Structure 1
Amino acid sequence: MRPLLLLDVDGVLNPIGRPPPGHRRYRCVVDGEAYVVRLNPRHGRQLLDLAEATGAELVWATTWEEHANDWIAPRIGLPSLPVVTVNAATVPVSEHGEMFKTPAVAAYAGRRPFVWFDDQVWAEDEEYLRVHQGVGDFLLVHVDPAHGLTSGHLGTAWEWLTLTGFSQGS
């Protein structure tokens, strides 16, 4: 089973606040709403390299859902990716404090090992995934939304995938 690399957009690829150097400003219109995103075009190559080196599959896990393929992927050099459907309006209210996306991620990933880059994953999400039947091994990588995705986050994912034997690229 190929491992998954699950990607959030806001706070991960699109830092909140003043972006670090290397980010470019884009204006996107999604369902009639205008958004400004700040993206680093190098992230696409870095993520593709990580996926290739580990045999992992890149997947969107973001409220942007399919819009990430229209507005985010082409601006950072990613192909169209599969999408975890995380529509917050259809997710039941959490009973244990996990984020609204966590049950959708659990259902999508199933037994496949995964790394999840998100700025809103916490201990409650880890606990939910650990006790949820049918979920394989995983690594939650909390990204500081003020800085976004860094080479340190990518290195952590690479180490976990390769040192735990989930990597299919080694």
Structure 2
Amino acid sequence: MTKRPLVLLDVDGVLNPARRPTMRHRRHDVTLDGRTYRVLLNARHGPKLLALAAGAEADLVWATTWEEHANAEIAPRLGLPPLPVIHVTGDLGTRTGEHFKTRHVAEYVAGRPFVWFDDSLRPPDWQYLMDHPGVGEFLLVEVDPQTGLTDGHLARAREWLTGRALGLDDAGAASPEPAP
């Protein structure tokens, strides 16, 4: 019996790039706890992420400091259903230079294969995940925060997930390489 893979999603820098609105990225003003944030979202990302998950028989999961707010403010604007949330904001320290979310991700995945889209992943994150006993196969997809998620990132994830499912020899290798 295989475990369904996970597709982990960050919001800021991935689904919400740090740039001006474009024809594809529409501006939304989101108020959380009395503070208003400008969020740029591409409505096409929702269907593309759903297609990626369906094609790979994977589960989409939020791995973002937005936590539950992602389900209330981001998911509906992208056409996504409410997703499970990895709670990442309780402990902001690092131990070996990894991103503060990495330890929470390692605990959450519980041996399930996963692809993680984030704009803050570096070699210490890859090393931490490689060394963590509860982590199996994974692919880290580094997203440029100025550009955000692209079709190239999605294609890379799809290729890895499909290769895993087909049992290809090199598909299970964890990768520290950023996506093109």
Q: Same fold (TM over 0.5)?
A: yes
Range 138-147 or range 21-30, more displaced = 21-30
Identify the residue that residue 5 of structure 1 maps to in structure 2. Answer: 7
Moved over 3 A (4+): none
Give the aligned length.
165
Contact kept in structure 2, 1:7 and 1:117, CA below 8 Å? yes
| Cα drift, residue 165 of structure 1 | 2.1
| Residue pairs, 1:12-161, within 5 angstroms | 12-87=14-89, 90-91=90-91, 93-161=93-161
- % identical aligned pairs: 58
2:77 and 2:67 map into 1 onto residues whose CA distance is 16
Output one character per residue of 1:129-169: Cα deviation in whole Å (capped at 9) or x when no partner.
000111111000000000000000000000001112279xx
| Cα drift, residue 52 of structure 1 | 0.4
- Structure 2's unaligned 5+ residue stretches are 168-180
Contact kept in structure 2, 1:60 and 1:82, CA below 8 Å? yes
1:105 aligns to what SS in structure 2?
Answer: helix
Identify the residue that residue 176 of structure 2 maps to in structure 1. Answer: none
Give TM-score scaled by structure 1 length. 0.94
1:146 and 1:75 map into 2 onto residues whose CA distance is 20
2:115 and 2:107 map into 1 onto residues whose CA distance is 15
- Over the residues paired in the alignment, what is the CA RMSD in angstroms? 1.3
Output one character per residue of 1:90-131: Cα deviation in whole Å (capped at 9) or x when no partner.
216212100000000000001000000000011110000000
Identify the residue that residue 178 of structure 2 maps to in structure 1. Answer: none
Greater RCO (Cα-Cα under 8 Å, separation 6 or more)? 1
Contact kept in structure 2, 1:18 and 1:146, CA below 8 Å? no
